[in-house]
Amino acid sequence: MAIHLAKLLTHDLQLDPSAYAGQVILVTGAGRGIGLQTARAFALLGGKVVLAELSEAGRAAEEQIRAEGGEALYVQTDVADQASVAHLVETTHEHYGPVDVLVNNAIYIREAAVADMPIELWDQTIAVNLRGTFLTCKACLPEMLTRQHGTILNLISTDAMPGLSAYIASKQGITGFSQSLAQEVGSAGVRVIPFGPGMVDTPGIRSVAAGLAPRLGIPPDQFLHFSLHPAYIGLMPAEHAGAAAVYLTLRLADEFHGQAVNGYEVLERAGLLKTLAAPTADETMAGTDTTDRVELIRQLAHILTDTEAEFNRLPIFVRPMARQGFKSKAGQSLPDWQRMIAAWEANPAVPPQNLSDRLDQLVNYYRDVPKETARFTRDEDMLRQITAVTQQRLTVIRQLLQQLPA
């Protein structure tokens, strides 16, 4: 189904059609996919959009945006080449003025195992993705700092994926680079955000699907219909990713300055995507004293073991995200939790230090499990089952909390 991007922006997201009137937006890799839809979105909100694109797809993108009533300029650019980037920024300044928003979207992506990867493939991937991001930021940043105004959106990706080590390494490098740059500019009026759109339907992801899917243990068709949010049956439309980029830049830039954020969260905050409500079970647990502490510790150890097994059953490229999510919310990694509880089980009379605070963090993690699982499946029966299991786990942890001395 075709998506009416202007309606999505102004009606669904309730953005002002002139929100970017007079502002200069530079989008790299703007000829297709997320880059094209991001450029269109900014232009539909009144921005003067510069399309930095290596191929002639940039010219077609310029024509499309102008046909839609927007203002756009295609500048053929190799973001990995310093002279080409300098020419891009100079041309932008000559036609429109200084850059207000920089969106680093240009990518080079090829599928290859490390053992078989030509060194040239590695070098090209790092050059376009990571070096290109550095060069454009370096070229646009001085004027942003002088004006104390500007937003830089650097597109990132998932944590790990077999066959895409060069691409993932470049994207993780962009995350660290963006967070470091955000600290450098501080509160000087410039915002730097590492933005992961999500699993988006783009020519890039389709180009690697046939080789990547077997490494993940799934057929290509299933990979191209994989969803990370219950609002989507399959991949996110590129128009939604473009809308998320605009909304993030316009409404959430201060909040996410220096912080990685994904497109699903942005669109949830915008009200476009609905979230699964967190369980609202009674927080008070009756019968706390009916189960002995040793048995509760043993049950918690089993819960952690089961969680480990559940992570291992996830698609391989989702596992790092799941483990990082656990560590972020539970305060330490799953193996660290398992070691800590095993030591406590061996000596139940001596609880670990700061255990009450740690168990509170574990409650926070499991409380959000149904909502997070809904990003990966639309199966209502599965979600009901997961919610029930989660409530059982929360009961054990809360009972342990009540057994601890005040």
Active site residues: 167
Query: What gap in Å lies between CA 306 and CA 286, rounded to an integer?
Result: 25
Residue type, 376: F
Beta strands 101-104; 71-76: pairing state? unpaired
Q: 244 φ, ψ to 5°?
A: -65, -40
Question: Tokens 């920089």 appear where?
Answer: 102
396: number of CA atoms within 13 Å, CB side?
A: 18
Q: Most distant CA pair in the chain: distance in Å?
A: 77
- Asked if 1 and 111 count as a contact pair (C-beta separation under 8 A), the reply is no
Structure tokens at 261: 């954020």
Query: What gap in Å lies between CA 168 and CA 156, rounded to an integer?
Result: 9
- Asked if 167 and 107 count as a contact pair (C-beta separation under 8 A), the reply is yes
Query: What gap in Å lies between CA 82 and CA 88, rounded to an integer?
Result: 10
- Asked if 33 and 238 count as a contact pair (C-beta separation under 8 A), the reply is yes
Find, among 228, 118, 237, the residue nearest to 166 by Cα. Answer: 118
Structure tokens at 291: 């189960």
| Beta partners for residue 190, in sequence order | 150
Query: What gap in Å lies between CA 25 and CA 363, rounded to an integer?
Result: 43
- DSSP summary character for residue 154: E
Query: What gap in Å lies between CA 71 and CA 21, rounded to an integer?
Result: 10
Ramachandran category for residue 189: left, alpha or beta (phi over 0 → left; psi -120 to 50 → alpha): left
Query: Over the range 113-128, which residues count as b (16 or more CB within 10 Å of their CB) and which as e?
Result: eeeebeeebbeebbbb
> What's the N-to-C CA distance of the chain in angstroms?
58
- Asked if 362 and 397 count as a contact pair (C-beta separation under 8 A), the reply is yes
Structure tokens at 79: 């973001």
122: number of CA atoms within 13 Å, CB side?
A: 9
